[in-house]
């Protein structure tokens, strides 16, 4: 397949690019280094400094003999994106090209505007590049479980049949997210669903939970191929942050009472899910929504597991509660369906102690680079 990966320099975009190239697909990875720029601006650099996308591609080529074509363009520039789509003729576009941080999007007007403009304009341009230059292309869009928020009913996979006053219809499952970043993904979904039903696009929306981990088959070949591992309060996901705190000898910081429950998955399962979604395209005029996570945990449960794994390595891990900087429920109902990807063949890698220990060992190798000042919450919207 011709695979176009937008946001190919990202935490997931780069491992995805390597995976598809390793499986023999013709991969083009697109990025404009927005996340690198924002990480620098907010003093939220990743734990392990990573070569840029062109360098990564060259290192990967040296290690494997495989090509990853790189295009450094801004996807909010419709002409530039059109040119790449025309040239690449993708069978599938994997769309990660969004400002990915909730806290960043809640910092103030400038950050909100940058998030809003980048994410919406990119999605709009992807739709139109496909309409104009690759109408049969399957768009695989990374959504987020965060779009659903924490409703008081079971979360289904994207759709809900509603019976009301004796009549029935099926609608997108209600979405009400907790940050502007997550809200831009709600808007993305609305926009994609409009163009799917009106112009017959083919779209898979992967509603992903927070991802953890840094080791994948491809990144284990050369340390310089590791993903951008963020542990800061802005770009880091909760479990990655806890693991770094455990190694740094500082308490794991639980926001509020720690009952916030979400669905999580290992980065290696993200890669499986992307392969499954891309390998099984949907029909024209269909929006397929898949909830992409493998296990539900509360923040307290995550902290306990990290503490246990860390203590087994002699790290003496402690847990501390902080006033919650976020506006969110700390105790709520949460039960989300996630059968779709398992039915398609996903074999989950669960959050067991060996997995946590392996991650801790990688972080221990880089422990001198941990900057503790980046970990405590610097953005609040309570």
d(CA 4, CA 51): 21
Out of 27, 80, 93, 186, name the contact with a second copy by CB under 8 A.
Answer: 186
Helices first, then strands: H and E counts in the chain: 12, 14
Q: Is 114 a catalytic residue?
A: no
Scanning the chain, the segments in alpha helix (DSSP H) are 13-22, 34-41, 53-64, 78-88, 102-105, 109-133, 180-199, 238-248, 267-279, 299-312, 339-344, 353-365
**Does 124 engage in binding with a second copy (CB under 8 A)?**
yes
**Does 67 engage in binding with a second copy (CB under 8 A)?**
no
Find the shortest distance in angstroms from Cβ 162 to a second copy: 6
H or E element: which one contains 6? strand 2-6
Residues in region 229-288 near a second copy by CB under 8 A: none
Between 59 and 131, CB nearer to a second copy? 131
> What separation, in Å, do the N-terminal and C-terminal C-alpha atoms of the chain show?
46
d(CA 277, CA 256): 36
Query: What is the distance of C-alpha 318 from the center of its chain?
Result: 28
Residues in contact with 75: Cβ distance below 8 Å, sequence separation at least 6, in sequence order: 6, 30, 32, 81, 97, 121, 122, 125, 126
Stretch that binds a second copy, among 25-33, 153-161, 258-266, 272-280 (CB under 8 A): 153-161
Given the residues 104, 181, 212, 264, select the one marked as catalytic. 181
Stretch that binds a second copy, among 21-29, 38-46, 125-133, 342-350 (CB under 8 A): 125-133
Stretch that binds a second copy, among 172-180, 261-269, 316-324, 340-348 (CB under 8 A): 172-180
**Does 32 engage in binding with a second copy (CB under 8 A)?**
no
Q: Is 148 a catalytic residue?
A: no
Given the residues 28, 123, 144, 204, select the one marked as catalytic. 144
What is the chain's length?
382
Find the shortest distance in angstroms from Cβ 169 to a second copy: 4
Residues in region 349-368 near a second copy by CB under 8 A: none
Q: Reading across the β-sheet that carries 138-144, which strands appear in turn?
A: 69-72, 26-31, 2-6, 92-95, 138-144, 202-208, 286-292
**How many residues form the binding site for a second copy (CB under 8 A)?**
45
Out of 55, 117, 220, 223, name the contact with a second copy by CB under 8 A.
Answer: 117
Residues in contact with 118: Cβ distance below 8 Å, sequence separation at least 6, in sequence order: 34, 76, 98, 99
Q: Which residues of 356-365 are buried (b: 16+ CB within 10 A; e: fewer)?
A: beebbebbee
Out of 104, 193, 231, 242, name the contact with a second copy by CB under 8 A.
Answer: 193
d(CA 295, CA 266): 10
Find the shortest distance in angstroms from Cβ 89 to a second copy: 19
Q: Is 181 a catalytic residue?
A: yes
Q: Rg of the chain's alpha carbons, rounded to an integer?
A: 20
**Does 128 engage in binding with a second copy (CB under 8 A)?**
yes
Find the shortest distance in angstroms from Cβ 356 to a second copy: 33
Residues in region 288-327 near a second copy by CB under 8 A: 327
d(CA 76, CA 71): 14
Stretch that binds a second copy, among 17-25, 54-62, 152-160, 357-365 (CB under 8 A): 152-160
**Does 171 engage in binding with a second copy (CB under 8 A)?**
yes
143, 208 Cβ separation under 8 angstroms? yes
Residues in contact with 65: Cβ distance below 8 Å, sequence separation at least 6, in sequence order: none
Find the shortest distance in angstroms from Cβ 154 to a second copy: 5
Stretch that binds a second copy, among 47-55, 60-68, 123-131, 266-274 (CB under 8 A): 123-131
List residues with catalytic annotation.
144, 181, 185
**Which residue ranges make up the site for a second copy (CB under 8 A)?**
78, 109, 112-113, 116-117, 120-121, 124, 128, 131-132, 151-154, 160, 162-165, 167-169, 171-172, 174-178, 180, 183, 186-187, 190-191, 193-194, 197-199, 327, 333, 381
């Amino acid at each position: 397949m011709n695979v176009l990966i937008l946001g190919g320099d990202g935490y997931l975009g780069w491992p995805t690019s390597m995976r598809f190239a390793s499986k023999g697909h013709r991969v083009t990875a697109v990025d404009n280094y927005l996340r690198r720029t924002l990480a620098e601006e907010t003093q939220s650099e990743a734990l392990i400094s990573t070569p840029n996308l062109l360098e990564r591609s060259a290192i990967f080529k040296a290690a494997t003999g495989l090509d990853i074509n790189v295009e450094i363009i801004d996807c909010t520039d419709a002409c530039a994106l059109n040119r790449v789509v025309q040239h690449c003729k993708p069978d599938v576009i994997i769309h990660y090209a969004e400002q990915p941080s909730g806290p960043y999007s809640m910092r103030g007007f400038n950050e909100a505007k940058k998030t809003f403009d980048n994410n919406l304009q990119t999605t709009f341009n992807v739709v139109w590049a496909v309409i104009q230059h690759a109408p049969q292309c399957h768009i695989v869009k990374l959504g987020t479980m965060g779009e659903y928020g924490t409703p008081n009913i079971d979360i289904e996979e994207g759709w809900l049949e509603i019976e009301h006053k004796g009549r029935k219809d099926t609608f997108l499952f209600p979405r009400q997210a907790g940050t502007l970043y997550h809200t831009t993904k709600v808007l993305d979904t609305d926009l994609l669903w409009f163009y799917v039903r009106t112009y017959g696009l083919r779209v898979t929306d992967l509603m992903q939970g927070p991802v953890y981990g840094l080791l994948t088959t491809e990144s284990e070949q050369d340390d310089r191929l590791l993903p951008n591992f963020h542990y800061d309060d802005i770009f880091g996901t909760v479990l990655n942050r806890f693991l770094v705190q455990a190694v740094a000898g500082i308490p794991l910081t639980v926001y509020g009472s720690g009952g916030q429950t979400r669905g999580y998955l290992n980065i290696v399962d993200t890669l499986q899910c992307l392969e499954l979604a891309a390998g099984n395209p949907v029909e024209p005029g269909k929006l397929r929504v898949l909830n992409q996570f493998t296990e539900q945990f509360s923040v307290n449960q995550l902290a306990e597991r990290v503490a246990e794994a860390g203590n087994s390595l002699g790290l003496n891990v402690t847990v501390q509660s902080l006033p919650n900087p976020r506006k969110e429920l700390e105790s709520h109902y949460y039960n989300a369906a996630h059968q779709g990807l398992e039915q398609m063949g996903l074999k989950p890698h669960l959050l067991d102690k060996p997995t946590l220990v392996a991650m801790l060992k990688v972080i221990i190798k880089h422990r001198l680079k941990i900057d503790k000042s980046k970990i405590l919450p610097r953005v609040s919207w309570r």
